[in-house]
Structure 1
Amino acid sequence: MKRSLAFGFLGVALAATALPALAQRGPGSLPARIFDQADANRDGRVTEPEAMDFLAARFTEADTNRDGGMTPEELSSFVRSQIATYRPGPEGQQRRQPPPEAQRRMMERQARFFRMADANRDGRITMDELRPMAAALFRGADANGDNVLEKNELPGQRGPRSQQRGPARGETRPL
Structure 2
Amino acid sequence: MKRSLAFGFLGVALAATALPALAQRGPGSIPMRIFEQADANHDGRVAEPEAMDFLAARFTEADANHDGAMTPEELGNFLRAQMASYRPGTDSGRERRQPPPEAQRRMEERQARFFRIADADRDGRITMDELRPMAAALFRAADANGDNVLEPGELRGHRGPRGEHRGPARGDTRPL
Deviation, structure 1 residue 31 = 2.2
* Equivalences for residues 48-127 of structure 1 within 5 A: 48-91=48-91, 95-127=96-128
Q: Could you tell me how far apart the structure 2 residues matched to 1:43 and 1:144 are?
A: 18
CA distance in 1, matches of 2:38, 2:23: 19
CA contact (8 A) 2:6 2:15 kept: no
* Equivalent position of 2:174 in the other structure: none
What are the ranges of 5 or more consecutive residues in structure 2 without an aligned counterpart? 159-164, 172-176
Residue 150 of structure 1 corresponds to which residue in structure 2?
Answer: 151
Structure 1 Cα separation of the partners of residues 166 and 94 of structure 2: 37
User: Over aligned residues, Cα RMSD in angstroms?
Assistant: 2.5
Separation of aligned partners in 2, 1:42 and 1:79: 24
User: Are 2:46 and 1:46 equivalent residues in the alignment?
Assistant: yes
Once the two structures are superposed, residues 79-122 of structure 1 have per-residue CA deviations (whole angstroms, 9 ceiling, x without a partner) of 11011111234427762122222211111111111101100000
Farther-moved stretch of structure 1 (150-159 vs 135-144): 150-159
Higher relative contact order (CA 8 A, sep 6+): 1
Gaps of 5+ in 1: 168-175
| Letter paired with 2:33 | R
Q: Structure 1 CA distance, aligned partners of 2:46 and 2:17? A: 20
Do the aligned residues in 2 keep the contact of 1:89 with 1:96 (CA within 8 Å)?
no
Q: Which residues of 2 match residues 17-56 of structure 1 at below 5 A? A: 22=22, 25-56=25-56
Count of equivalent residues? 160
The alpha carbon displacement at 1:23 in A equals 7.5
Distance in 2 of aligned mates of 1:15 and 1:40: 15
Answer yes or no: is 1:4 the counterpart of 2:3: yes
TM-score (norm 2): 0.80
Instruction: Show the counterpart of 1:141.
Output: 142
Partners of 1:153 and 1:137 in 2: CA distance = 13
The structure that is strand-richer by fraction is 2
**Matched residues, percent identical?**
74
